[in-house]
Amino acid sequence: MTSSIKHIKDYEDVEMRSLVEQVNRRDTCAFSVVYKMHYNSLYMYITEFFKGNNAEAFDIIQDVFMNIWDSKTIFESMAHIKDYLFLSVRNHSIKKYNSSKVKDKYNTHLLENPDYFISNMVEVEVVSLLHQMIDSAVTEECARVLRMYIEGKNIKEIATELGKKESTIYNQKNRGIEILKKKYSKSDLLPLLLVFLR
Protein backbone atom coordinates (compact mmCIF):
# COMPACT_ATOMS: atom_id res chain seq x y z
CA MET A 1 0.00 0.00 0.00
CA THR A 2 1.52 3.32 -1.02
CA SER A 3 1.76 6.14 1.44
CA SER A 4 -0.61 8.44 -0.44
CA ILE A 5 -3.36 5.83 -0.41
CA LYS A 6 -2.78 5.32 3.27
CA HIS A 7 -3.11 9.02 3.83
CA ILE A 8 -6.46 9.11 2.07
CA LYS A 9 -7.65 6.15 4.10
CA ASP A 10 -6.73 7.94 7.32
CA TYR A 11 -8.63 10.97 6.22
CA GLU A 12 -11.69 8.87 5.43
CA ASP A 13 -11.38 7.21 8.80
CA VAL A 14 -11.53 10.56 10.53
CA GLU A 15 -14.59 11.57 8.57
CA MET A 16 -16.29 8.27 9.30
CA ARG A 17 -15.51 8.54 12.97
CA SER A 18 -17.06 11.97 13.24
CA LEU A 19 -20.10 10.69 11.37
CA VAL A 20 -20.43 7.82 13.82
CA GLU A 21 -20.18 10.28 16.69
CA GLN A 22 -22.94 12.36 15.20
CA VAL A 23 -25.12 9.29 14.79
CA ASN A 24 -24.51 8.54 18.46
CA ARG A 25 -25.71 12.03 19.26
CA ARG A 26 -28.77 11.31 17.07
CA ASP A 27 -28.03 14.08 14.61
CA THR A 28 -30.69 14.27 11.90
CA CYS A 29 -28.23 15.10 9.15
CA ALA A 30 -25.91 12.25 10.07
CA PHE A 31 -28.88 9.90 10.00
CA SER A 32 -29.79 10.92 6.49
CA VAL A 33 -26.18 10.45 5.35
CA VAL A 34 -26.02 6.96 6.83
CA TYR A 35 -29.43 6.16 5.37
CA LYS A 36 -28.23 7.16 1.90
CA MET A 37 -25.03 5.19 2.33
CA HIS A 38 -26.71 1.92 3.17
CA TYR A 39 -30.17 2.18 1.68
CA ASN A 40 -29.42 0.44 -1.60
CA SER A 41 -27.67 -2.57 -0.16
CA LEU A 42 -30.25 -2.98 2.60
CA TYR A 43 -33.01 -2.74 0.04
CA MET A 44 -31.38 -5.32 -2.17
CA TYR A 45 -30.82 -7.60 0.81
CA ILE A 46 -34.53 -7.50 1.70
CA THR A 47 -35.71 -8.08 -1.86
CA GLU A 48 -33.35 -11.05 -2.08
CA PHE A 49 -34.77 -12.27 1.19
CA PHE A 50 -38.37 -12.05 -0.03
CA LYS A 51 -37.44 -13.39 -3.44
CA GLY A 52 -38.15 -10.27 -5.42
CA ASN A 53 -41.21 -9.18 -3.51
CA ASN A 54 -40.03 -5.71 -2.57
CA ALA A 55 -43.24 -4.27 -1.11
CA GLU A 56 -41.85 -4.55 2.42
CA ALA A 57 -38.35 -3.22 1.85
CA PHE A 58 -39.06 0.48 2.05
CA ASP A 59 -41.05 0.16 5.27
CA ILE A 60 -38.60 -2.17 6.94
CA ILE A 61 -35.68 0.19 6.35
CA GLN A 62 -37.64 3.16 7.68
CA ASP A 63 -38.61 1.18 10.77
CA VAL A 64 -35.07 0.04 11.45
CA PHE A 65 -33.74 3.60 11.27
CA MET A 66 -36.50 4.98 13.46
CA ASN A 67 -35.82 2.21 15.99
CA ILE A 68 -32.19 3.28 16.13
CA TRP A 69 -33.29 6.87 16.59
CA ASP A 70 -35.45 5.86 19.54
CA SER A 71 -32.84 3.57 21.02
CA LYS A 72 -29.86 4.50 23.13
CA THR A 73 -27.47 2.31 21.17
CA ILE A 74 -23.96 3.75 20.92
CA PHE A 75 -21.91 2.69 17.93
CA GLU A 76 -18.16 2.21 17.89
CA SER A 77 -17.55 2.44 14.17
CA MET A 78 -19.22 2.64 10.79
CA ALA A 79 -18.70 -1.11 10.47
CA HIS A 80 -20.61 -1.51 13.72
CA ILE A 81 -23.46 0.60 12.33
CA LYS A 82 -23.54 -1.44 9.15
CA ASP A 83 -23.57 -4.74 11.01
CA TYR A 84 -26.32 -3.44 13.23
CA LEU A 85 -28.37 -2.29 10.25
CA PHE A 86 -28.05 -5.54 8.38
CA LEU A 87 -28.83 -7.60 11.45
CA SER A 88 -31.87 -5.49 12.33
CA VAL A 89 -33.11 -5.63 8.78
CA ARG A 90 -32.60 -9.36 8.74
CA ASN A 91 -34.43 -9.85 12.05
CA HIS A 92 -37.25 -7.60 10.87
CA SER A 93 -37.50 -9.59 7.65
CA ILE A 94 -37.56 -12.91 9.48
CA LYS A 95 -40.33 -11.60 11.71
CA LYS A 96 -42.33 -10.45 8.69
CA TYR A 97 -41.63 -13.69 6.89
CA ASN A 98 -42.77 -15.80 9.82
CA SER A 99 -45.98 -13.83 10.14
CA SER A 100 -46.75 -14.16 6.45
CA LYS A 101 -49.00 -16.92 5.24
CA VAL A 102 -46.79 -18.38 2.54
CA LYS A 103 -43.72 -20.02 3.96
CA ASP A 104 -42.16 -23.41 4.17
CA LYS A 105 -40.08 -25.03 6.85
CA TYR A 106 -37.00 -25.46 4.72
CA ASN A 107 -36.98 -21.80 3.81
CA THR A 108 -37.46 -20.65 7.38
CA HIS A 109 -34.54 -22.75 8.45
CA LEU A 110 -32.40 -21.34 5.66
CA LEU A 111 -33.32 -17.74 6.32
CA GLU A 112 -32.38 -18.06 9.97
CA ASN A 113 -29.00 -19.56 9.17
CA PRO A 114 -26.22 -17.05 9.95
CA ASP A 115 -23.92 -18.40 7.24
CA TYR A 116 -26.61 -17.91 4.65
CA PHE A 117 -27.10 -14.37 5.92
CA ILE A 118 -23.41 -13.53 5.56
CA SER A 119 -23.25 -14.96 2.06
CA ASN A 120 -26.30 -12.94 1.06
CA MET A 121 -24.65 -9.87 2.47
CA VAL A 122 -21.52 -10.55 0.43
CA GLU A 123 -23.60 -10.81 -2.75
CA VAL A 124 -25.21 -7.49 -1.96
CA GLU A 125 -21.83 -5.91 -1.32
CA VAL A 126 -20.50 -6.96 -4.70
CA VAL A 127 -23.40 -5.35 -6.53
CA SER A 128 -23.09 -2.20 -4.38
CA LEU A 129 -19.39 -1.94 -5.12
CA LEU A 130 -20.03 -2.10 -8.85
CA HIS A 131 -22.61 0.64 -8.57
CA GLN A 132 -20.33 2.76 -6.41
CA MET A 133 -17.72 2.54 -9.14
CA ILE A 134 -20.10 4.18 -11.54
CA ASP A 135 -21.30 6.76 -9.01
CA SER A 136 -17.82 7.85 -8.03
CA ALA A 137 -16.67 8.27 -11.62
CA VAL A 138 -19.35 10.31 -13.39
CA THR A 139 -21.74 13.12 -12.53
CA GLU A 140 -25.04 12.33 -10.83
CA GLU A 141 -27.01 13.07 -13.96
CA CYS A 142 -24.79 10.92 -16.10
CA ALA A 143 -24.88 8.08 -13.57
CA ARG A 144 -28.64 8.24 -13.76
CA VAL A 145 -28.62 7.79 -17.50
CA LEU A 146 -26.15 4.93 -17.25
CA ARG A 147 -28.23 3.27 -14.57
CA MET A 148 -31.36 3.47 -16.68
CA TYR A 149 -29.39 1.99 -19.53
CA ILE A 150 -28.32 -0.87 -17.29
CA GLU A 151 -31.96 -1.36 -16.38
CA GLY A 152 -32.47 -2.25 -20.01
CA LYS A 153 -34.08 0.95 -21.25
CA ASN A 154 -33.07 2.23 -24.64
CA ILE A 155 -32.01 5.77 -25.52
CA LYS A 156 -35.48 6.70 -26.68
CA GLU A 157 -37.17 5.46 -23.51
CA ILE A 158 -34.67 7.24 -21.28
CA ALA A 159 -35.13 10.47 -23.24
CA THR A 160 -38.91 10.31 -22.87
CA GLU A 161 -38.73 9.49 -19.20
CA LEU A 162 -36.34 12.32 -18.40
CA GLY A 163 -38.02 14.72 -20.80
CA LYS A 164 -34.84 15.34 -22.79
CA LYS A 165 -33.65 15.12 -26.35
CA GLU A 166 -32.48 11.74 -27.58
CA SER A 167 -29.23 13.24 -28.77
CA THR A 168 -28.53 14.61 -25.28
CA ILE A 169 -29.04 11.19 -23.73
CA TYR A 170 -26.94 9.57 -26.40
CA ASN A 171 -24.09 11.97 -25.72
CA GLN A 172 -24.39 11.59 -21.96
CA LYS A 173 -24.25 7.84 -22.21
CA ASN A 174 -21.21 7.84 -24.46
CA ARG A 175 -19.43 10.45 -22.40
CA GLY A 176 -20.15 8.39 -19.27
CA ILE A 177 -18.66 5.28 -20.79
CA GLU A 178 -15.61 7.24 -21.95
CA ILE A 179 -15.04 8.55 -18.43
CA LEU A 180 -15.41 5.07 -16.95
CA LYS A 181 -12.92 3.71 -19.48
CA LYS A 182 -10.44 6.43 -18.60
CA LYS A 183 -10.88 6.24 -14.86
CA TYR A 184 -10.73 2.48 -14.62
CA SER A 185 -8.28 1.90 -17.46
CA LYS A 186 -5.88 0.27 -15.03
CA SER A 187 -8.55 -1.69 -13.23
CA ASP A 188 -9.50 -5.21 -14.16
CA LEU A 189 -13.07 -4.34 -13.37
CA LEU A 190 -13.55 -2.25 -16.46
CA PRO A 191 -14.56 -5.12 -18.78
CA LEU A 192 -17.09 -6.24 -16.20
CA LEU A 193 -18.62 -2.79 -15.99
CA LEU A 194 -18.76 -2.52 -19.74
CA VAL A 195 -20.67 -5.78 -19.90
CA PHE A 196 -23.60 -3.98 -18.32
CA LEU A 197 -23.30 -1.05 -20.67
CA ARG A 198 -23.14 -2.99 -23.89
Partner 1 sequence: MENKKKILSQPVKHSDKIAKDIINVMMQKEQSGNVHFDEWIEDNPYATDSLNKLSDEKWLKDKMANYPQSNRDLGTEMLVSKIKRKKRNSLIKNITAIAAAVISISFLVYNYSSDGEQGADARVIVATQAPKVGLNYTEPILITTEGAIAKVNSQIAQMDKRVINLDEISQAAEQTNTTTMIDGREILVDKKYNRLVVPEAQTSSIELNDGTVVHLNANSELLFPENFDGESRNVILNGEGYFEVSKLGKPFIVQSGSVEIKVYGTEFNVNSYNIECVQTTLVEGSVAVMALGKKQMLNPSEQCVVDILDGSVSTEVVNTKRYTSWKDGVKVFEEDGLVYLLERLSQWYGVDFVLENNNYDELTFTTVIYNETKLEGVIKLIETLNVNIEFIKTERGGYVVK
CA distance 16 to 13: 5
By the rule CB under 8 A, 129 interacts with partner 1: yes
| Buried/exposed code over 113-133 (b: 16+ C-beta within 10 A; e: otherwise) | eeeebeebbeebeeebeebeb
* Total of chain residues touching partner 1, rule CB under 8 A: 63
Least separation in angstroms between residue 167's CB and partner 1 is 18
Task: Give the contacts of 155 (CB within 8 A, at least 6 positions apart).
Answer: 166, 169, 170, 173
By the rule CB under 8 A, 141 interacts with partner 1: yes
Among 112, 168, 179, 183, binds partner 1 (CB under 8 A): 112
Among 8, 14, 74, 79, binds partner 1 (CB under 8 A): 79
By the rule CB under 8 A, 155 interacts with partner 1: no
Among 16, 150, 155, 179, binds partner 1 (CB under 8 A): 150
By the rule CB under 8 A, 51 interacts with partner 1: no
Among 115, 136, 185, 186, binds partner 1 (CB under 8 A): 115
By the rule CB under 8 A, 44 interacts with partner 1: yes
Phi, psi of 179 (to 5 degrees): -60, -45
H/E stretch holding 70: helix 57-70
Q: Which window, 1-9, 12-20, 124-132, 173-181, contacts partner 1 (CB under 8 A)?
A: 124-132
- 30 contacts 19 by C-beta, under 8 angstroms: yes
CA distance 172 to 174: 6
By the rule CB under 8 A, 58 interacts with partner 1: yes
Which residues from 156-185 bind partner 1, rule CB under 8 A? 161-163
- Cα dihedral 152, 155, 160, 161 sign: positive
- 196 contacts 150 by C-beta, under 8 angstroms: yes
By the rule CB under 8 A, 71 interacts with partner 1: no
Q: What is the number of residues in the chain?
A: 198
Q: Could you list the residues that contact partner 1 (CB under 8 A)?
A: 28, 31-32, 35-36, 39-40, 43-44, 47, 54-59, 61-62, 65-66, 69, 79-80, 82-83, 86-87, 96, 112-123, 125-131, 140-141, 144, 147, 150-152, 161-163, 188-189, 191-192, 195-196
